[in-house]
Structure 1
Amino acid sequence: MKSIIITGASSGLGESISIKFAREGWLVFAGVRNEDDAKSLTEKEPKIQPVFLDVSKPEQIKAAVDLVTEKLAGQTVGGLVNNAGIAKLGPLALQDIDEFIQHFEVNAFGGLRMAQAFLPLLGTDESLNGDPGRIINITSVGGELPSPFLGAYTASKHAMESITDSLRRELMVYGIDSISIGPGSVKTPIWKKAKEANAAEQYKDSAWKDSLKTFLDVMIEGGEDGLETEDIADVVYEAMTADKPKARYAPVPNKLINYTLPTMLPERLVDQIFAKKFDIKEDG
């Protein structure tokens, strides 16, 4: 039986990825935050094995490695999906630097910690039986196309894109692949919850107060028209199982407009597009 460990599986995309692989017959170790998350996940798919895992805590990563090592009993792990992530909005001119650092701790350093810790199980320990595994890092369309008001998030996803490519080129010596998947809008309630929680309140006296309200409205609308988490899970499964996978997948709704063209256009023109989209303009 093939096996996989997936971070950030308490809800949303990570949950859908975990369920997809379990129903395809894989042994799934799913990183969750607490007992309630573990119970909810196993009620939806009893074959999943929850693992308490905060990727910013090395001791929890070590415990996860020990658990998976014991369960696999001398076999390699088939895959690692780094899905855990956070996204907090704010203009970079004002966003607290500790909040900015937190994005890197989870979205970039957490993924690298996981890769380093699980590489022996993925195949660098040549005493293990089985084929080398694959690393899949869930990045974002923002990993290639930075958005205003998500600078901390997109910067960390840019970093993860680079880490993914460097790992792939280094790990060729072991036959371990490293792949990025950068989704666009996905149908999750993250931005609706952010608006309901008044996430932009701390910037209400700034020059961006109106733009942030527009930003949240646009993001909520985009989420409503986004891809289902199950659609992204299908892409992850394809990347993990294809004989010749792509180095990067970009499952983005309305891909030509939302991804392909903006990545080809001059930067100054993209600036103008974002300014119009989020109502960013000079006072006076």
Structure 2
Amino acid sequence: MGAVYLYSLRSLDSEEAMKTAVVTGVSTGIGRQIAETLVTQGYMVFGSVRSQRDATRVTKEIGKNFKALVFDVTREDEVLASVKTVKKYLGNRKLDALVNNAGIAVIGSVQGLTSEEFKHQFDVNLMGVFHCVQAYADLLGADQEREGQSGKIINISSVSGKTGMPFMSAYNMSKFGLEGFSEALRREFQFYGIDVAVIAPGPVKTPIWEKFDPEGLTKRHSNSPMREPLQRMLAYSDAMSDKGCSPARIADCVVDILSNRKEGARYTIDTTAGQQRILSILPTRMGDRMIGSQLGLRRK
């Protein structure tokens, strides 16, 4: 997918040094809001997008103290190439933050999804994080010859990383995996002084749900006995998204973590947390029956 979008960057002297952050997936939604908020907080932000067109647009819209990096998180070579731009700016200093936000949602029944769709969900939401962590670990502090305090990694997960739902098996798999990866990484990277935190939003008013075609999805399931339950799930998701939290709340949480106002390992931001609370209290099988009844999945 394209080369890194290079700029004329200079390394700053220590007295001029700004806080620095790499944020993935900043073209829209949560990532865009995180990038904008960090810039207002005095950060130099490097944000990833997947096209030169988006790089030009987002750079113009955010303005000063933002530099776009063009890479696809699923392409390890592109992620590694992006490090050169950030490294040039940092000089011998450490990177303060890596925010792994880039993600997609693949929706559909297990029988209705292709192997390629399932794998793509995994590649973006989990392997993409792995690529970025591995590529930027040295700048964050794994290279202990670098100056300054070790940086932090913030992984944007989801309440779907703890609760499985029908027709979201691929997305659940990727977010459950991200939760486990984050916990293991946090414990492993203690060695370098690199902290790892997870933000797990519930429904968010964000374009991630606009990146799939609900009509096409319903059409693909037109001959499936699960067609009506799928339609109910899509309607429920739309209703929850309308009531969801704003990306600004997630961006504010990122700022609080980076400024040490929050020192926990995981933060849930969910404006529609009622069902999640109920499911956490109920016996598992009772939760299964409740969800099955709501969506019409109970065998008659």
Residues matched between the structures, number: 282
| 3-state DSSP of counterpart to 1:43 | helix
Alpha-carbon distance in 1 for matches of 2:262, 2:158: 22
Alignment of 1:108-127 (within 5 A): 108-127=126-145
Q: Report deviation, 1:29.
A: 0.3
TM-score of the two chains, using structure 2 as the length reference: 0.89
Q: Report deviation, 1:158.
A: 0.4
Give the equivalent residue in structure 2 for 1:33.
50
TM-score of the two chains, using structure 1 as the length reference: 0.94
Is 1:279 aligned to residue 288 of structure 2?
no
Instruction: Give the letter aligned to residue 44 of structure 2.
Output: L
- Candidates 265, 274, 292, aligned match of 1:247: 265
| Cα pair 1:6 1:18 within 8 Å, conserved | yes
Give the equivalent residue in structure 2 for 1:156.
174
Instruction: Give the letter aligned to residue 270 of structure 1.
Output: G
Give the equivalent residue in structure 1 for 2:7.
none
| Cα pair 2:30 2:251 within 8 Å, conserved | yes
Give the equivalent residue in structure 2 for 1:67.
85
Alpha-carbon distance in 2 for matches of 1:59, 1:258: 42
Give the equivalent residue in structure 2 for 1:10.
27
Q: Report deviation, 1:71.
A: 1.1
Structure 2, unaligned runs of 5 or more: 1-17
Q: For each residue in 1:169-212, what CA deviation from the matched residue of structure 2 results, as whole angstroms up to 9, or x when unmatched?
A: 01111111111111000012444664555333212111210111
- Candidates 166, 184, 188, aligned match of 1:170: 188
Q: Report deviation, 1:45.
A: 1.3
- Of 112-121 and 91-100, the range deviating more from structure 2: 91-100
Alignment of 1:61-140 (within 5 A): 61-140=79-158
Give the equivalent residue in structure 2 for 1:208.
226
Instruction: Give the letter aligned to residue 35 of structure 1.
Output: Q
Q: Report deviation, 1:44.
A: 2.7
Q: For each residue in 1:11-32, what CA deviation from the matched residue of structure 2 results, as whole angstroms up to 9, or x when unmatched?
A: 1111011111011110100000
Q: Report deviation, 1:52.
A: 0.4
Is 1:144 aligned to residue 162 of structure 2?
yes
Alpha-carbon distance in 2 for matches of 1:245, 1:19: 23
Q: Report deviation, 1:82.
A: 0.6
Alpha-carbon distance in 2 for matches of 1:9, 1:191: 16
Give the equivalent residue in structure 1 for 2:4.
none
Alpha-carbon distance in 2 for matches of 1:87, 1:188: 12
Q: Report deviation, 1:37.
A: 1.5
Alpha-carbon distance in 1 for matches of 2:60, 2:164: 37
Alpha-carbon distance in 2 for matches of 1:143, 1:273: 19
Q: Report deviation, 1:56.
A: 0.4
| 3-state DSSP of counterpart to 1:186 | coil
Give the equivalent residue in structure 1 for 2:11.
none
Alignment of 1:178-217 (within 5 A): 178-191=196-209, 194=212, 197-217=215-235
Change (3 A) 1:143 1:103: same
Instruction: Give the letter aligned to residue 7 of structure 1.
Output: T
Alpha-carbon distance in 2 for matches of 1:258, 1:82: 27
